[in-house]
Amino acid sequence: MRDNGKYTDTVFADKEFDKKFLYNGKDLGARCEGESTTFKVWSPLAESIKLRLYRDNDSEVCLESELRPEDKGVWKTVFPENLHGMYYDYLVRNGGVEMSTADPYAVGCGCNGSRSMVVDLRRTDPPGFESDAAPEMQAEQIIYELHIKDFSYDLRSGVPEEYRGKYKAFTVGRTNGEFPTCMEYLKELGVTHVHLLPFFDYGSVDEAGDGGQFNWGYDPLNFNVPEGSYATDTRDGMVRIRECKEMIQAFHDNGIRVVMDVVYNHTYRKDSWFQRMVPGYYYRHKEDGSLSNGSACGNDIAAGRAMVDNFIADSVMYWAKEYHLDGFRFDLMGLLTVELMNRIRRELDAEFGEGEKLMYGEPWGADNSPMETGVRAALKENVRYLDEGVGIFCDDTRDLIKGHVFYEEEPGIVNGGSGLEEQLLHAVTGWCDGETYFSPKSCAQIINYVSAHDNFTLWDKLVMSMHGEADFAKRYEDVLAANKLAAFTYFTCQGKLFLQAGEEFGRTKSGEGNSYCSSPEINMLRWDRTVEYGELVDYYKGLIRLRKKMPGLCDKSPLAVKRITERQVLGEGVVSFQVDNRSESGDGDWEELFIIYNAASGNCDVELPAGRWEILADGRETDCRRAVAETEKRICVDAHSGMMLGRCRCVRQGEPG
């Protein structure tokens, strides 16, 4: 623990240490149990641990108590009273050095998270939360990525000033403005899940500061506590918990499930509560002893070590149980392990039912990271080892459609790219046709998207790639057409669907490609654009309604790929394919789909397969039904647009024609 008298890391990387000190109890942290409170921490090489209690977030120590060592590196003390509402931290002595630390397992904390809080969680439940339940899982999941502050910061959101940028904004059902905003708008849009950027306690915003601060939140400080800057009172640790639950309850009441964006691959700083409790154990190091930095955030959590994996799995389960969350998106999942992700999938399924909670993540890291022996990184090339219920963001589809995510001038199929037709025909199967370097078990593992919080918005990417340095607020008709075609394309690929909030009304960040700490004004949703680009909003609404009606596109089974037939390249920028759209019940309106993408600069006449067809979507309208005359043998698809046609069910004998 000391090197020339200086405090250093102790790095535990061997299996013997894990075996000796593995603790599988689910009771670490501070727990109120009737008239007593128990404090337990895991710190196997500590020489002593002292608990310090405070009456509030700012007062001096009012009581101290020594913890007693138990088996497996656990330390414990019990108070014969319920200490709900008290704040606490620890003094931990390792290698002769004493350091103060908050509790890594805390479920409550004070302002800015440096003091933990004892919480009787039932006292934080809003009225009716005990009976709160997720809306019924729909046949198709359409995920809408949203940042809590972005949602309501705009004055035109209509949300009361004291709720803007807060959890409470989601509890405002109707804003009574000139046009629908916030929750009312989300209900009308038709998405099934809202994916919220990280809202566990993060360190990059001063919770005592002003409301003009902004961060995406990928800077975890207290993993099991909601972020305080979104609460109406940052000083009282119970308010953030109650208001976070109110937000989730409001989503459920409005028929929308909630996915939590979780960041278990690194901590805000290396000098974390983990590091102070068990120096070196929770982080990966290179052979020379320096910190690994596969996260590009200064450190990597050592997933693959027993107590690290226990913490992550238990934390996910805690959020699912206590906050009634419906899914989890894992940031930089490639720094975690296949074994851990599959374990979390199994535990969620066992507790809530198979597939009831969504799980997906980024199948990459920012850089290489040394893994423990005997594990696989949860990278895209290892998707075949992941449980079928663990999804991955498909950057192949994203870049194919709109162009390289990091190079604004590089186009995809919808904005001038060439030679991409064959790849596009692989993408429509969710990359399950055996023609790619990675091998998903089914399209259930593929998250199709063209924009997310990272990098340029879709609108900005299209403007820059099609017009260079340009006015992002200007209405470009060619960009609007490309946006529609991009949406039409990924909405007609097999797999799960994901879109960034505001993509459907041309969201712009004025060309800012990394707005993680830009101003709220750059990041916020500008609700008046839902009117200015109302036709684009209607186009997305129609795609969402239409997608839900299409068993051939909604099928997530390993056999779904067989529904895609007659894939053809019809010319430069033009492809077509057919989809077996029959359902098990046989009650759908269309037994076959014929889908054409025309990214070319001219209209294209396409030969129709035999049958009686209806146009269900084109470049102007979605979720429509326009009959094609039976005498028509060809159909014209406008330039820079797509078309979906449905072949009507065969008329059985005795049925009216």
In contact, 575 and 425? CB cutoff 8 Å = yes
Domain extent, residue 66, equals 2-124
- Note the pLDDT of residue 173: 87
Q: How far apart are CA 640 and CA 657, in angstroms?
A: 36
Q: Using pLDDT thresholds of 50, 70 and 90, give the confidence band for residue 176.
A: confident
- Note the pLDDT of residue 585: 79
- Note the pLDDT of residue 52: 98
Q: Using pLDDT thresholds of 50, 70 and 90, give the confidence band for residue 652.
A: very low
* Burial of 517 (C-beta count, 10 Å sphere; 0-12/13-18/19+): middle
The answer, yes or no, to whether residue 20 has pLDDT greater than 90, is: yes
In contact, 225 and 106? CB cutoff 8 Å = yes
Quick one: what percent of the chain has pLDDT higher than 70?
97
Angle at 188 between CA 401 and CA 649, to 5 degrees: 70
- Note the pLDDT of residue 338: 98
Q: Return the H-helix or E-strand segment holding 463.
A: helix 458-467
DSSP letter string, 221-254: EEEEEE-GGGSS-SSSHHHHHHHHHHHHHHHHHT
DSSP state of 468: S
- Note the pLDDT of residue 492: 98
- Note the pLDDT of residue 2: 34
Q: How far apart are CA 294 and CA 337, in angstroms?
A: 13
- Note the pLDDT of residue 13: 66
Helices (H) and strands (E) in the chain, counts: 15, 29
Q: Using pLDDT thresholds of 50, 70 and 90, give the confidence band for residue 166.
A: very high
Q: How far apart are CA 642 and CA 292, in angstroms?
A: 46
If one compares 10 and 326, the residue with the highest pLDDT of the two is 326
In contact, 341 and 378? CB cutoff 8 Å = yes
What is the 3 state secondary structure string of 547-583? HHCCHHHHCCCCCHHHHEEEEEEEECCEEEEEEECCC
- Mean pLDDT throughout 535-552? 97
Q: What is the pLDDT of residues 385-423, one digit of tens each?
A: 999 999 999 999 999 999 999 999 999 999 999 999 999
HSE, side-chain direction, 13 A CA sphere, residue 647: 17
Neighbouring residues of 336: CB distance < 8 A, sequence distance ≥ 6: 264, 265, 303, 312, 330, 361, 377, 378
- Mean pLDDT throughout 340-349? 98
What mean pLDDT is reported for the chain? Answer: 95
The answer, yes or no, to whether residue 216 has pLDDT greater than 80, is: yes
DSSP state of 269: S
HSE, side-chain direction, 13 A CA sphere, residue 311: 27
The answer, yes or no, to whether residue 651 has pLDDT greater than 90, is: no
22: domain CATH number?
A: 2.60.40.10
Q: How far apart are CA 469 and CA 273, in angstroms?
A: 46
The answer, yes or no, to whether residue 609 has pLDDT greater than 70, is: yes
- Note the pLDDT of residue 4: 35
Positive or negative torsion for Cα 113, 116, 117, 120: positive
- Mean pLDDT throughout 594-619? 97
Task: Phi first, then psi: give them for residue 224, nearest 5 degrees.
Answer: -110, 25
Q: How many C-beta neighbours within 10 Å does residue 91 have?
A: 16
| Cα 554 to Cα 492, 493, 575, distances in angstroms | 9, 9, 21
Residue 582 located in a structural domain: yes
The answer, yes or no, to whether residue 588 has pLDDT greater than 90, is: no
Radius of gyration of the chain (CA): 26
Q: How many C-beta neighbours within 10 Å does residue 521 have?
A: 13
Name the domain boundary from 124, 146, 169.
124
Q: Using pLDDT thresholds of 50, 70 and 90, give the confidence band for residue 15.
A: confident
Name the domain boundary from 124, 159, 182.
124
Catalytic positions, please?
A: 331, 362
b/e burial code for range 353-391 (CB count within 10 A of at least 16 → b) = eebbbbbbbbbbbbeebebbeebbbbbbebbebbbbbbb
588: domain CATH number?
A: 2.60.40.1180
pTM of this structure: 0.96
Residue 298 located in a structural domain: no
Task: Choose among 150, 144, 146, 147: nearest CA to 522.
Answer: 150
Residue 280 located in a structural domain: no
Q: What is the pLDDT of residues 566-580, one digit of tens each?
A: 999 999 999 999 999
The answer, yes or no, to whether residue 294 has pLDDT greater than 50, is: yes
- Note the pLDDT of residue 648: 86
Task: Choose among 5, 185, 199, 19: nearest CA to 95.
Answer: 5
Q: What is the pLDDT of residues 459-512, one digit of tens each?
A: 999 999 999 978 998 999 999 999 999 999 999 999 999 999 999 999 999 999
- Note the pLDDT of residue 654: 40
In contact, 73 and 79? CB cutoff 8 Å = no
Q: Is beta strand 604-607 parallel, antiparallel or unpaired with respect to 220-226?
A: unpaired
In contact, 536 and 134? CB cutoff 8 Å = no
The answer, yes or no, to whether residue 455 has pLDDT greater than 90, is: yes
Number of folded domains in the chain?
Answer: 2
- Note the pLDDT of residue 537: 98
The answer, yes or no, to whether residue 431 has pLDDT greater than 80, is: yes
Q: What is the pLDDT of residues 59-116, one digit of tens each?
A: 999 999 999 999 999 999 999 999 999 999 999 999 999 999 999 999 999 999 999 9
Residue 67 located in a structural domain: yes
Q: What is the pLDDT of residues 180-207, one digit of tens each?
A: 999 999 999 999 999 999 999 999 999 9
Residue 412 located in a structural domain: no
Name the domain boundary from 106, 124, 142.
124
Residue 497 located in a structural domain: no
Residue 156 located in a structural domain: no
Residue 640 located in a structural domain: yes
**Directed axis angle between helix 395-402 and helix 458-467, to 10°?**
40
Q: Using pLDDT thresholds of 50, 70 and 90, give the confidence band for residue 655.
A: very low
